[in-house]
Amino acid sequence: MENQQPLHPGLFSWPDAPSQLLGSRCQDCGEHAFPSQHSCRACGSERTEVVGLGNSGTLWTWTIQSFMPKAPYQTDETPENFRPYGVGYVELACGLKVESRLHENSADALRIGLPMSLEIIPVRLDHEGNQLMTFQFRSAEAL
Minimum distance, C-beta of residue 36 to Zn ion, in the bound complex (Å)? 13
Considering only 5, 29, 74, 130, the residue that binds Zn ion (CB under 5 A) is 29
Minimum distance, C-beta of residue 135 to Zn ion, in the bound complex (Å)? 25
**Closest CB to Zn ion among residues 43, 107:** 43
**Closest CB to Zn ion among residues 42, 112:** 42
Considering only 12, 31, 98, 139, the residue that binds Zn ion (CB under 5 A) is 31
Beta strands in 1-74 (DSSP E): 4-6, 22-26, 32-33, 48-52, 56-65
**Closest CB to Zn ion among residues 31, 104:** 31
d(CA 95, CA 93): 5
Minimum distance, C-beta of residue 95 to Zn ion, in the bound complex (Å)? 14
Site map (CB under 5 A) of Zn ion, residues 37-76, x = contact: ---x-xx-x-------------------------------
Binding-site size, Zn ion (CB under 5 A): 8
Q: Which 7-26 residues touch Zn ion, going by CB under 5 A?
A: 26
DSSP per residue, the chain = ---EEESSTTSB-TTSSSP-BEEEEETTT--EESS--SS-TTT--S-EEEEE--SEEEEEEEEEE-SPPPTT--SS--TTT---EEEEEEEETTS-EEEEEES--SGGG--TT-EEEEEEEEEEE-TTSPEEEEEEEEESS--
Binding site for Zn ion (CB under 5 A): 26, 28-29, 31, 40, 42-43, 45
